[in-house]
Structure 1
């Protein structure tokens, strides 16, 4: 059985990894003032977004996830011909409508795939399995990574789906923003009251940054630090401890909302890198999606891993 993967563009993973495993991307349209971006994780488009230095204006951006019709088009024109089973992984359904769009699209795909496959001489059924990773950005990476391992091992679709659901339920996505004013403005734009004006003013005045976590469909602060650089040291140090404690999937993904060359320079990063090397855990570095930068702000860090349930200690 030919199995494959499709993800929404805000699942942060390195481009080389996506190409190696031929992972299809369900894009997101992003509009900032008069500029429109196709967020499909293409490096050139991410660089164009950074080069325009939209900065504080991005909080007012409009984002439009891949529509039901576009998902159906991707599958019926391409994936049903190239694969017999596709696992679709999305960021948490509580923060984006993409999961709902894919679920709705699946009805049309499963109803019409035979009329596409049979003229091409492809027999047999087509399967489409949808996984809500229940977290965001780099936090979605462990489930995608695990899916590639299971597919390579020729596991059965039912076993893969069960395992991915388990990994998703234990995936942690952490975020460290640089600018609380930006975060508050973006939250207000989306009707999210999680970052109030008082906390934004107080935090910016004292240079206090929240450490946010996406876990089991809920997103919110789990700690606070003084200063972004100190925050990265705390976050990377925490991740290093989790690596030593043992992970469910042998990988950690870190995404950065800017030039990836700056990532290793951040305080605490070498400690995380050393911990991963010592424990034979793959450390993946990814550019943050345009959608991620619009929602958390440029220069932010997100980090993801999968582990048994534990208390966040910040």
Structure 2
């Protein structure tokens, strides 16, 4: 007769939660090395060329390419099929996958991941989360999920943690041009033409996963002032990073002022990647703020 006692080996090998994200993420190098995170690359089309983000081209190389006139990138999301293959390749028997992606308002990546998860029901457990963010904001959430998974937290607690953090991640950008916002459909052509005529440059914020123009400025100095005012509203920050293109000269000024405001805070500066550049262009600077729980 078959003995149906407790399966001790089952309780010892708890199902692992494996973390997946996409290449729109910006992770600090230390987290990328130390945490077990699988990154699904997005495809970038620029003219006749095709690159895999984060694999074939660096952030800096990409921004240099974008400075050539008329270079508008198209970021193409992975297909549901790509996600199915990835999920099947990383999930061992019984493992659970938590797939965290940049905002569904910015591309169809979340939708492709959700389709893949739905078609694997019964074979592989996959949960998909829309981080409502991109770049370093997405990175903060992915890193928190990966740390919790490494500490052996179960899926429900990791999802709860991430959902609690999402509304506390803020992003603000200054873009030197309205062209990219028009190109990705964030603003209409009339607004873009008028803005260019009047030398207006947008200050953009991320709200509910959407990048929206918040204010208009006319100079870099005014832009730095607006970024500073936005960040100064926070009484406490757990993380504060500057995202910039390598050609923006006013970063030291902004950093200096922010260090006076948050003297104990480490404020790293990173070059933003292609997926974000497709929306804000190659001449932007901004900040990501995480308030902490």
Normalised to the residue count of structure 1, the TM-score between the two structures is: 0.76
Work out whether 1:89 is the aligned partner of 2:100. yes
Pairing partner for 1:195 from 165, 187, 192: 187
Residues in 2 aligned to 1:206 and 1:22: alpha-carbon distance in whole angstroms: 48
Work out whether 1:296 is the aligned partner of 2:284. no
Q: How does 1:195-234 map to 2 (within 5 A)?
A: 195-234=187-226
Q: How does 1:1-150 map to 2 (within 5 A)?
A: 1=14, 2-39=16-53, 41-42=54-55, 44-52=57-65, 54-59=67-72, 61-77=73-89, 79-81=90-92, 84-113=95-124, 127-150=125-148
Residues in 2 aligned to 1:198 and 1:46: alpha-carbon distance in whole angstroms: 30
Residue of structure 2 equivalent to 1:246 = 236
Q: Is the 8 A contact 1:141 1:305 kept in 2?
A: no
Residue of structure 2 equivalent to 1:271 = 257
Pairing partner for 2:163 from 162, 165, 182: 165
Residues in 2 aligned to 1:173 and 1:17: alpha-carbon distance in whole angstroms: 20
- Distance 1:57-1:199 versus aligned 2 partners, 3 A rule: same
Q: Is the 8 A contact 1:32 1:62 kept in 2?
A: yes
* Secondary structure of residue in 1 paired with 2:258: helix
* Secondary structure of residue in 2 paired with 1:58: coil
Following TM superposition, by how much is the alpha carbon of 1:99 offset from its aligned partner in structure 2, in angstroms? 0.6
After superposition, the CA RMSD in angstroms is 3.0
Following TM superposition, by how much is the alpha carbon of 1:164 offset from its aligned partner in structure 2, in angstroms? 0.7
Q: Is the 8 A contact 2:202 2:216 kept in 1?
A: yes
Deviation per residue, 1:208-267 (Å, 9 max, x gap): 32211122234312222221343134214422442xx124xx2223322447xx678443
Aligned residues: 278
Residue of structure 1 equivalent to 2:5 = none
Normalised to the residue count of structure 2, the TM-score between the two structures is: 0.80
* Secondary structure of residue in 2 paired with 1:88: strand
Residues in 2 aligned to 1:43 and 1:264: alpha-carbon distance in whole angstroms: 30
* Secondary structure of residue in 1 paired with 2:276: helix
Q: Is the 8 A contact 2:35 2:147 kept in 1?
A: no
Residue of structure 2 equivalent to 1:120 = none
Residue of structure 1 equivalent to 2:153 = 155
Residues in 2 aligned to 1:141 and 1:303: alpha-carbon distance in whole angstroms: 13
Q: Is the 8 A contact 1:29 1:38 kept in 2?
A: yes
Deviation per residue, 1:88-113 (Å, 9 max, x gap): 11111122111111111113445444
Residues in 2 aligned to 1:225 and 1:67: alpha-carbon distance in whole angstroms: 39
Task: Give structure 2 stretches of 5+ with no counterpart.
Answer: 1-13
* Secondary structure of residue in 2 paired with 1:55: coil
Larger radius of gyration: 2
Residue of structure 2 equivalent to 1:121 = none
Task: Give structure 1 stretches of 5+ with no counterpart.
Answer: 114-126, 309-314
